[in-house]
């Protein structure tokens, strides 16, 4: 029918035009389904590279359950690599925070982690400007990690290398939701000098659990703790490890002070809750009586 209105040459031109349009539509479809998504993915921000936890699979509130490690000497650190946060340092700091800090301080630094209940004083809220024991600056947070906070459940984190502690410092600072005062130049200079001039000698390390297991094999069997008393249940995290700790602590049955001083060291790796570090003299007496006369 169409031949009645078009000459053969005009028909060929029409078919050629239709073919070109069809080819163009095919190319456009291919571009939309293949090229555009690839371009979008290429421009997307790089996914954060997961960082392995630095202390192995630690137990609840137990930073001492690190992997066995052979001792080594770490040379001084270039301060420029740790004094300011960089993506690699922040990623490691966040991994350490999740493993060792979030249980008490919370994933967002609000002091609302599952291990915060019952702790007195309560864990620090990193999001708030008020209440920092040493201060929210880099040198102050590093000091807190170095020495802990006496009279609280915040123990020393000096088992971490200096680089890892600085990574954790930056991770903690990143949780703050307040305008931070300018850092003290002299304190920063002193911290930088510490990194640049002093290396680290890291001794052979064995997880507390493994060390206690080896000691237990060389000693007499240890009786299990009686957890029926509420005072004992509140103070003990790991009954087996706590029993081994008491078995190796001389004189604790005869002295409340000896029990308190002995258990306050090595928390929580000795099987007792960090909460016992905040006990009063009367609370230690209650725990002592419960342990001596189950």
Query: Length of the chain, please?
Result: 294
Residue among 154, 118, 98 nearest 268 (CA): 154
- Check if the beta carbon of residue 242 is closer than 8 Å to that of residue 99: no
* CA–CA gap between residue 70 and residue 99 (Å, rounded): 22
Same-domain status, 253 and 281: yes
Q: What is the pLDDT of residue 41?
A: 46
Same-domain status, 187 and 90: yes
Question: Does residue 53 lie in a domain region?
Answer: no
Question: Does residue 252 lie in a domain region?
Answer: yes
pTM of the model as a whole: 0.52
Question: Does residue 49 lie in a domain region?
Answer: no
Same-domain status, 37 and 141: no
Question: Does residue 271 lie in a domain region?
Answer: yes
Q: What dihedral do alpha carbons 7, 11, 17, 20 form, nearest 10°? A: -150
In CATH, what number is assigned to the domain containing residue 118? 1.10.760.10
Question: Does residue 59 lie in a domain region?
Answer: no
> Beta partners for 205?
69
H/E/C letters for each residue in 238-280?
CHHHHHHHHHCCCCCCCCHHHHHHHHCCCCCCCCECHHHHHCC
Q: What is the pLDDT of residue 141?
A: 94
Question: Does residue 52 lie in a domain region?
Answer: no
Question: Which residue range(s) make up the domain with 165?
Answer: 72-202
Q: From residue 93, how far is each of 126, 207, 266 by CA, in Å?
A: 15, 22, 23
Per residue of the chain (294 residues), give pLDDT as tens.
555 655 666 667 767 777 777 777 777 776 666 654 555 444 444 444 445 544 444 444 455 555 676 777 778 889 999 999 999 999 999 999 998 898 899 999 999 988 888 788 888 899 998 888 889 999 999 999 998 888 888 888 887 889 999 999 999 999 988 888 888 999 999 999 988 887 777 777 777 667 777 666 656 667 788 889 999 999 998 888 899 889 888 899 999 999 998 898 778 888 898 888 888 999 999 999 999 986
Same-domain status, 214 and 194: no
* CA–CA gap between residue 31 and residue 128 (Å, rounded): 51
- Kindly report the number of other CB atoms within 10 A of residue 49's CB atom: 8
Question: Does residue 54 lie in a domain region?
Answer: no
């Amino acid at each position: 029918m169409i031949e009645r209105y078009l000459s053969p040459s005009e028909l060929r031109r029409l078919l050629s035009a239709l073919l070109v349009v069809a080819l163009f539509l095919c190319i456009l479809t291919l571009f939309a389904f293949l090229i555009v998504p690839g371009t979008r993915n290429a421009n997307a921000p790089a996914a954060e590279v997961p960082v392995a936890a630095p202390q192995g699979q630690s137990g609840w509130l137990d930073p001492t359950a690190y992997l066995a490690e052979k001792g080594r000497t770490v040379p001084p650190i270039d301060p420029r690599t740790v004094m300011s946060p960089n993506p690699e340092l922040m990623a490691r700091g966040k991994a350490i925070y999740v493993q060792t800090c979030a249980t008490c301080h919370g994933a967002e630094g609000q002091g609302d982690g599952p291990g915060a209940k019952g702790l007195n004083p309560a864990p620090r809220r990193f999001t708030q400007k008020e209440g920092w024991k040493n201060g929210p600056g880099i040198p102050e947070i590093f000091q807190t990690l170095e020495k802990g906070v006496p009279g609280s459940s915040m123990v020393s984190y000096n088992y971490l290398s200096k680089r890892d502690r600085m990574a954790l410092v930056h991770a903690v600072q990143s949780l703050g939701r307040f305008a931070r005062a300018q850092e003290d130049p002299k304190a920063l200079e002193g911290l930088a000098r510490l990194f640049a001039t002093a290396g680290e000698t890291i001794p052979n390390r064995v997880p507390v659990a493994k060390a206690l297991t080896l000691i237990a094999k060389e000693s007499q069997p240890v009786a299990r703790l009686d957890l029926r008393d509420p005072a004992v249940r509140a103070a003990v995290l790991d009954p087996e490890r706590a029993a081994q700790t008491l078995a190796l602590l001389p004189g604790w049955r005869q002295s409340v002070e000896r029990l308190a001083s002995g258990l306050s060291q090595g928390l929580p790796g000795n099987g007792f809750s960090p909460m016992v570090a905040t006990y009063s003299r009367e609370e230690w007496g209650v725990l002592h009586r419960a342990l001596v006369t189950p």
